[in-house]
Structure 1
């Protein structure tokens, strides 16, 4: 498949992008990676979607191959929405699908509710559309962990020791249950840590997936989901921190939307069940383009 890549000027710096199968005339899909402060790196396997359409990756400012300005004021959702608008404008995308994962679904929703023109469909993969609801879900998930792990997490949070090795080790236990259940962790994911930016993550989200203290902690677009008028797909893993219960709830209040659970996955079904993930994505996108 042919590909092009380059950099786009956005507020605060330059972001890197890559387009696979850029010559296809089918509707492109733009992939919004998780984080905040992660990169497209873990999602690169989704380039297989380019067998049918252009697939556009970009690393949000501050991570991956994009510039990393030392300015904490840039790490807010409004700037990331504007960044996506600038990417869409620079690439002259008249019509496109959005596939957002985790924080990428937060960004996808915030973008659509301010810039709906041209968005043909949205895939909310392991969605975080209500930070308060997410936090409540993680409180319940924590109760499923071994008692000693729960004690360590609470003590470190109460004492402001979330940067301690003890807290990090306990967090790994949570992640093994609700983020990635593969053992061992694929080598390419370990290599991808170099592309992450913890500062962005801590500023916007917090010290861990389950302890939300950043500037996104009050984000909640639940009441707006009923206004979505385009084809929408909600997916999650059976053991996902983006729980099937909450994902199904979002689906239930979004008109005409679809819902799918990846039965062998936690939060990264595109890594845990890549073939099934690809199959579900291709089916949804092709069905939208046919109608």
Structure 2
């Protein structure tokens, strides 16, 4: 199984990519392009999806393996990390999807976004690009204010001492304190990833978060202060006119009550709820996730 890396020129900088499998694909089936979450978090935590490229790996249904393409968004991971706040806009990351597709010749492609990556892909798809075979929205966000309200509700359900540390540090602007980070981990261990310990590739992503990018666009999960704080495309979901799969976890910070109206609004969409997962079903239930994803991608190709 081929595994190649390289970079794509983008807005005067370079976006790093990894291709697991071959391009062009020997089978002629569209590859899967993965758009990670964050913002400012590299793709590493989604590496379990690379097993889709194995000839007989989990999630296979008898065909040759499916080529999977990862990339690190500009500003994080192995991509260039310019010190230019003007770059940290939704338009930058939507344009980056197109840049990666053009450079790698992904004329026909399946798209998968996770968390913040679903926001990027919703913006991208609402601009009606050509050649997209299907869209997978993992732990999807269509309405930032609604998401933040639910995240605050989850935060407020933490033990009182933990809440007090979070609120005190945020009010004082001391969110780099060890006490704040420890309290925030109480939140993330419940609604981000329930595995104990966290897998190495998840830890690797979290430890290399580019805070400047995250702060500019988003901020704390429960207190969105960045430029996306009013972002909302929920009224436009009916415009999506391709096969769509939504996935989320039973204990996801993107709670089922947020995903359900999305599944109802997207014409013909399917929704799979992973009962043993929080926000990272790809890592928490990797084989099950690949099976669900593999079946969906194959079904879209068979019509």
Distance in 2, Cα, partners of 1:65 & 1:42? 14
1:252-291 map, 5 Å = 252-291=264-303
Deviation at 1:196, TM superposition (A): 2.7
1:133 correspondence with 2:136: no
Distance in 2, Cα, partners of 1:194 & 1:115? 35
Deviation at 1:53, TM superposition (A): 1.9
Equivalent of 2:85 in 58, 72, 75: 72
* CA offset digits 1:63-114 (Å, max 9, x no partner): 1111111111111110111111111111122111111000010111011111
1:41 matched residue in structure 2: 44
* CA offset digits 1:140-178 (Å, max 9, x no partner): 112321112122222222333333322211111111111
Q: Is the 8 A contact 1:65 1:195 kept in 2?
A: no
1:16 matched residue in structure 2: 16
TM-score, structure 2 as length reference: 0.92
Deviation at 1:194, TM superposition (A): 4.9
Deviation at 1:12, TM superposition (A): 4.0
Distance in 1, Cα, partners of 2:210 & 2:12? 15
SS at match of 1:121: strand
Work out the number of aligned pairs and report it: 290
1:152 matched residue in structure 2: 165
Give the number of the structure with larger relative contact order, counting CA–CA contacts within 8 Å between residues 6 or more apart: 2
1:118 correspondence with 2:131: yes
- Unaligned runs of at least 5 residues, structure 2: 55-64
Deviation at 1:115, TM superposition (A): 3.9
Distance in 2, Cα, partners of 1:75 & 1:62? 8
Distance in 1, Cα, partners of 2:82 & 2:202? 24
Distance in 2, Cα, partners of 1:26 & 1:113? 24
- Unaligned runs of at least 5 residues, structure 1: none
C-alpha spacing 1:93/1:188, structure 2 compared with 1 (3 Å): closer
Distance in 2, Cα, partners of 1:209 & 1:12? 31
Equivalent of 2:35 in 29, 32, 40: 32
2:236 matched residue in structure 1: 224
SS at match of 1:120: strand
TM-score, structure 1 as length reference: 0.95
Distance in 2, Cα, partners of 1:184 & 1:266? 14
Equivalent of 1:233 in 245, 251, 257: 245
Distance in 2, Cα, partners of 1:171 & 1:161? 13
SS at match of 2:136: strand
